[in-house]
Structure 1
């Protein structure tokens, strides 16, 4: 085992037994419902405009939450709720729904940080958010499970981020609309909403919504299909590189790795002195200049957190704050676009999610978040890593699961597949694609050579075939998914250094293939 700073990505091989009996649980959660509407569509939210009674009638909100009457989006009032350092000021309403039915959820919102979503859907619980201080419309959809008869719609802000406003909350789908409010409870309200955020009830101009944070692509400034490569801040026998040596085929470069500090959750980063000596000197100033040059070429550079020997733990609100603050300081210092989460010794989906959302709000719209979970971490939506990915789906760029060092695992069809094959790539990617991640958020993580991992290496052509199979249903192995995902996110390799030593087949073959895909 090399010294701690010279981290290897190799781990013990999981057996087929671990991939079958122990991991069979949760597969049923991966089957997404697709039933159509069986009743007339209606708006099922009661008092979605916050006009009824005390304005918060039908809503369960924290004490002290009020109704904003000075600048509602429409009518005479809107919800106003203020988070604290320990509370997100969540307001909820539970609604009766039909099983196996599709619903459209929307709301007009404004604030430094505001969420809209639903829980208890029986399928993939949706969530979307924005950070605009002007009125903008959030919207998302979901399909209820076969036994689902109610869901909880929620709105909330984020810890310590200031008040948010919401208005015209709507959930449209099969069901019975709530009863109309009585005249006595609405006499003081303006029943006909304006078409925009103007205070005047006669206004007709429509507002110009700001885009929501949820996107259909991999992220701002990135191509439709991206190649991610890890750059080693150490020498373990692979080709030693500067950031400037990383081929242009790599759209995202993950600098590995950040270091733990004596403060729980906090991270630091230092260029490895041994690496510098191999390169004839590589200073912080040169490193930062190389990152800036990659930016100028349209590339993204993130700081990877973890690795096999990573000891960074985020397990409470204090360590989450430490993580976000220290990571943001490194973003500012080095010019990183964001972070990569490669924690291989456990992760807390709640508090790491809190940390990443906080970091995303600090960095802003250009934030890039990648992940590299092990195969065992993404076998079902009940796994903490999968829960984390879904928790931060709104700010997540791509998950590049490591399809190596794992032995055999279950595919989404319930069959066992061996690593080092196309079937392994496609059948396990299917779990993530059907488990709630957007196609653009799913990438194939592969070793660049046999020296880069203890098992799971496949030729670059096999990676290309797997991408074709997932995107278009062509060039499949014996396993062929029952649907296609043309927007598949891309591929990742450990590492750019090992790829260079192996002749650059990932950069040349896989990178070229990805960028040529429609």
Structure 2
């Protein structure tokens, strides 16, 4: 995010059959089977070792069965084969106790195997790996104050080959008895793996999800909007508030247009006395221009935004920002200083806009630590340059994948880049529907869930050096991605109705342009089904 008027941005610029007899056999078998201990033994998963010789108590989508050909322990294991439109998910609803810690583990093998839970009442968790031999996945979570059941699941990835699972264990005290599962098969649609989140960053493997080079046939299928994080709507609009004057309209935070669901305050500064640390203070020149805008005024404005149902995050980086997080020490400094600022000003989270390089491993460590300190409701947004997200090999893309368990949305800057290759292998000119949709396609095929992807554009022609598009173009791109309507020459290989929304640099430039972005794109995003 540049702080000059024309320099980059921003800122400146089928279920398996389960008969009554099989259920009875499962109850007896799981008391002895590996991964199938009884509730009294602390494992709340029934038939977790599949030693019933069937998928009793599990509901599966796709082509799933039990096998004796390759097992981790005992006689049986699960084998499931994803298709181009299905992840081969198997899941089980398990009774738990409120406000209680649990550990979930399983032995798995195969390409891109995911293990996780949903409905925790706090933060849903997931972890994944890719391995030709049996390896154990594990993650932890705490249930919410009124949570009495969670859904445990395991699945693979679209068109990536068969996977195996065995000895699925949920360790912790049991809750009330679960309703008996249906005796007849009940096929259910699977959920996209990257929609899940993880509270156990240490369990995340270093490998990446299927690369962007995968064929269109293996692209994720349409998916509904995922449960929003931090109390945010399923489709949202992000706008940056400038804590500096670069020719755009000057605003107090309270004056940021109501269409913006997330307001990113630009920017935090590097702490020269604490490597990796960040600081924030209102620009005295801007405060003066606003007639004396104090810290107390600013904090009151943050609270007012909260009262209006909005989130306010602190943006780190920008065109001139040089926050360097390169090891465990600087990662700790970043997390601790960011959390202190969140508490001081009431920020809901952090926006990562590091345009001068990023160490994916260390920054992921910092963000996971910060998310853990902040707890439920933490909001993490990112605004990488287009080049940072054109390949899963790039550091920024690797960072996004590494923290997708706590990631709210990536709003890539689809400007100031010139022509770029899209997921179809063709070169598309910036400022067009095809440029935007083909870049979003790359990000979804690279492993991000559509609900974690937004469209970042300048709010006016003055807000960036190049790449400005009319609000109607952004609306067309959203329609193309969500429903296959209003596309250009490039038509994405799937519809992604969960696409998260759009971002503008900046709310100030939007105001200077007659609120064209917030009035037009804001209304369109909020009208998406």
Deviations 1:300-333 (A, max 9, x none): 1000011011111111111111111111111111
C-alpha displacement at 1:9, in angstroms? Answer: 3.2
Distance 1:119 1:333, change over 3 A: farther
Residues 36-435 of structure 1: matches in 2 within 5 Å? 71-73=42-44, 102-104=87-89, 122=111, 126=114, 128=116, 149-150=132-133, 152-156=135-139, 171=154, 197=174, 204=177, 213=197, 216-261=226-271, 262-435=273-446
Partners of 1:194 and 1:362 lie apart in 2 by 24
C-alpha displacement at 1:106, in angstroms? Answer: 6.2
Partners of 2:518 and 2:108 lie apart in 1 by 41
| Secondary structure in structure 2 of the residue aligned to 1:309 | coil
- 1:478 aligned partner: 489
Partners of 1:274 and 1:434 lie apart in 2 by 45
Distance 1:392 1:235, change over 3 A: same
Partners of 2:401 and 2:447 within 8 A in 1 = yes
Distance 1:496 1:168, change over 3 A: closer
Partners of 1:270 and 1:213 lie apart in 2 by 32
Distance 1:318 1:49, change over 3 A: farther
Partners of 1:365 and 1:49 lie apart in 2 by 34
Partners of 1:414 and 1:231 lie apart in 2 by 36
Partners of 1:131 and 1:359 lie apart in 2 by 23
Deviations 1:58-77 (A, max 9, x none): xxxxxxxxxx98755469x9
C-alpha displacement at 1:482, in angstroms? Answer: 2.0
Partners of 2:79 and 2:165 within 8 A in 1 = no
Partners of 1:218 and 1:489 within 8 A in 2 = no
Distance 1:106 1:417, change over 3 A: same
May I ask how many residue pairs the two structures share in their alignment? 429
C-alpha displacement at 1:362, in angstroms? Answer: 1.5
The one of 449, 455, 463 aligned to 2:460: 449
Partners of 1:194 and 1:243 lie apart in 2 by 46
| Secondary structure in structure 2 of the residue aligned to 1:259 | strand
Partners of 1:176 and 1:113 lie apart in 2 by 23
Q: With structure 1 as the length reference, what TM-score do the two structures score?
A: 0.71
Deviations 1:363-399 (A, max 9, x none): 1211111000111111112222111111111111110
Deviations 1:169-226 (A, max 9, x none): 87578678879xxxxxxxxxxx9x999716xxxx84679xxx9857913423222211
Matched, 1:9 2:4: no
More moved, 216-225 vs 94-103: 94-103
Partners of 1:250 and 1:299 within 8 A in 2 = yes
Partners of 1:307 and 1:127 lie apart in 2 by 36
Partners of 2:109 and 2:165 within 8 A in 1 = no
Partners of 1:315 and 1:120 lie apart in 2 by 32
C-alpha displacement at 1:152, in angstroms? Answer: 3.7
Q: With structure 2 as the length reference, what TM-score do the two structures score?
A: 0.69
- 1:501 aligned partner: 512
Partners of 1:240 and 1:279 within 8 A in 2 = yes
C-alpha displacement at 1:120, in angstroms? Answer: 8.1
Partners of 1:455 and 1:51 lie apart in 2 by 66
Partners of 1:104 and 1:141 within 8 A in 2 = no
C-alpha displacement at 1:361, in angstroms? Answer: 1.5
Distance 1:169 1:242, change over 3 A: closer
Partners of 2:402 and 2:321 lie apart in 1 by 22
Partners of 2:240 and 2:108 lie apart in 1 by 36
Partners of 1:232 and 1:460 lie apart in 2 by 21
Partners of 1:500 and 1:410 lie apart in 2 by 32
Deviations 1:66-120 (A, max 9, x none): xx98755469x9xxxxxxxxxxxxxxx8999677664436697997696769998
Distance 1:416 1:2, change over 3 A: closer
- 2:55 aligned partner: none
Partners of 2:508 and 2:240 lie apart in 1 by 8
| Secondary structure in structure 2 of the residue aligned to 1:321 | helix
Partners of 1:51 and 1:8 lie apart in 2 by 66
C-alpha displacement at 1:473, in angstroms? Answer: 0.7
- 2:211 aligned partner: none
Distance 1:194 1:490, change over 3 A: closer
Partners of 1:372 and 1:97 lie apart in 2 by 39
Show structure 2 runs of 5+ residues with no match.
19-28, 49-71, 142-149, 157-161, 181-194, 199-224
